[in-house]
Chains A and B, each alone.
Chain A
Amino acid sequence: MTGATAAGSATGPAGPEIRSDIPPVEVDGVSVRFGAINALSDVSFTVQPGAIHAIIGPNGAGKSTMFNVLSGVYKAAEGQVRFGEHRLDQMRPYKIAGIGVARAFQNIALSGTQSVAENLMLGRHHLTKAGFLAAGLRLPKATREGKIHGARIAEIAEFLDLGEKLHTPVGVLSYGDQKRVEVARALCTEPRLLLLDEPVAGMNAEETDRMAAAILEIRSALGISVVLVEHDMGMVMSLADRVTVLDFGRLIADGTPAQVQSDPEVIRAYLGSGDEADPAEAAEHHAAEHHAAEHHAAEHHAAEHHAAEHHAAEHDQTAEAGRRPAADPRSSDSSGATS
């Protein structure tokens, strides 16, 4: 950890009123291993209450692994993750949701056959109670519950420009809309900590701006903490109060956007040393071949690719890898302009 905490809080959550019931997230010495691969090694950082905290890093740096640890999908081999009095590293995912940690997935994980409203209603799952019997028999309490929460859902949908599409099946929505439904669904859980996994990946410039504005507004209106994994450097640098940089599963920098941007190690990780355009990518390819030969493809995938079960994810990766070397220098330019 770099000793920049003071500077971080100075520029930190300015303005918005932070809710009193929002504790910090303390990631303390977390390591995750898949077979022989260290997806995360001894990573520590703290998300201050009410902060917008970005986690960045090249492909395969362990960002999504970190998210999977925060939401309980992966178990840490070592270390602790504390959220107030709760130990996230020891809880099952659905319990974590129950204490107000919500996550929007990078590779949209919505139910395509269900409508936007139904998908959003799922966000209310832990806030509602109707069980099999109550729902099956349409007991009055189940119907009442549906009505009350339906109103709140409409509100959240409206906030993310989804109001008109409330009854449209998610599967027929555009990609950008689906991304917004992801975020809306996470919001519907009334979170205290919101995890956004590349919320603007694949969006066009206009949509990206709108999403950035929405995230700022979420924080200022709700006063909750937001942790963000994002590739769009412009967005990260303009939004985040604090940035954690991972590379090869290690934490290489942690500080304000300005501090991180001038950190030599970060620059090296992103721009590569000398003629090698992208060391991370090259290393990843090397590792891929090596491990495929050793029949460790499964672990390799989980560790290196923050990919979903589907092929689309793989496409995503390749596309992203192709984009990054060009995108990064430029986006750090733009972030320089915005900050």
Chain B
Amino acid sequence: MEEQENTIPEIVEEKEPSSFKLIFALGIAGLISGVILVGTFIYTDPLIKANKAAATQRAIFKVLDGCESFTPLTLENDKLVEKVVDPNKEEKNDKNELLIYAGYDANKQLIGFAIPGSEPGFQDIIGTIFGYDGNKKVIIGFEVLESKETPGLGDKIFKDADFLLNFTALAVEPEIIPVKKGEKQNPNEVETIAGATISSKAVVRLLNKTMAIWQTTIDDYIEENNLTVSEKDE
């Protein structure tokens, strides 16, 4: 307690230090800070980037069953094009850039697309990635990456096994409709969680919104690149 009382500025007037001294002191503090920060950044940046890439890869492999490799695709003039990653160029971290991932199995056959999407939930934005089979037009996997939904209620959107079963073959056409538990009759219906209606409806809204952005471009992409799985292959 004693030290805290000592913080009251002393009344005895000291000689004002020159402006140069003030700038010098702050300059030194800034210099030390800069050296420490740059050092830490150089050391940790590659590790942080590797962690992020690994997390994305894990999520893609999870929502696309059997996926062995993937290529990032981006929108350019309303068309899906392969995003060229130039290792020599510093990657811009553009958060607004829309990016999806085409996943292939061991035989380089297209399994589907991993599509990130987010939507406000009950508490905060729910960030997800889901797997979409462009040929059958069904959602084949769903993974929540970020969520602050209420533990025990809203967090069932990624903890409740019954709810996750909705996303094994969920038709996206004409649109996904939320229904009460036990009332699912059509392939495009999602059984919501009792007690977490807002969170589950947010998930449905997210899927519909995100599919609205990508559906036509994905259709075009499949047609253009002749990726349609022929009957023989099935």
Q: Do A and B bind each other?
A: no
Residues of A within 8 A of B (CB): none
B positions within 8 Å CB-CB of A: none
